[in-house]
């Protein structure tokens, strides 16, 4: 017969084993990519225009990833005003969706998240 103590120890061990298995990083999850919110000038109809953009680590603008692959991002705010990215077309947890004041505060100038 299983004692109450042995049962509780077994239950705790089983719970810890399943919790640590869930806490392991997903093999699909990439290392964090640093994306920078920056202002730049482009030409529109022959006139300069100031626009905001997201710069990749290789210096190119935009966000590129593989379809179906998980990714992690550290976002650096390199503009003069608080900012955040809202992930249109993706379905992250609401806490990571990038809605200022709802999923978290905007990133201050010079800050990162």
Residue 102: inside a domain: yes
Summarised one tens digit per residue, pLDDT across range 59-96 is 999 888 788 888 888 999 999 999 988 877 778 888 88
Q: Give the domain range for residue 86.
A: 28-113
- Tokens 């290789």 sit on residue: 58
d(CA 89, CA 112): 23
Residue 9: inside a domain: no
Which residue(s) pair with 52 in the sheet?
39
Which CATH number goes with the domain that contains 49? 2.60.40.420
Task: Please state whether the predicted TM-score (pTM) of the whole model is above 0.75.
Answer: no
Three-point CA angle 59, 63, 64, nearest 5°: 100
């Amino acid at each position: 017969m299983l004692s109450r103590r042995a049962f509780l120890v077994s239950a705790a061990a089983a719970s810890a084993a399943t919790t640590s298995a869930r806490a392991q990083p997903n093999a699909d999850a990439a290392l964090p990519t640093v994306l920078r919110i920056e202002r730049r000038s482009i030409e529109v109809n022959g006139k300069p225009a100031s626009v905001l953009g997201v710069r990749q680590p290789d210096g190119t603008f935009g966000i590129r990833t593989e379809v179906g692959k998980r990714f992690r991002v550290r976002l650096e705010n390199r503009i003069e005003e608080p900012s955040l990215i809202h992930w249109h077309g993706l379905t992250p947890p609401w806490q990571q969706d990038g809605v200022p004041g709802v999923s978290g505060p905007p990133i201050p100038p010079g800050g990162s998240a």
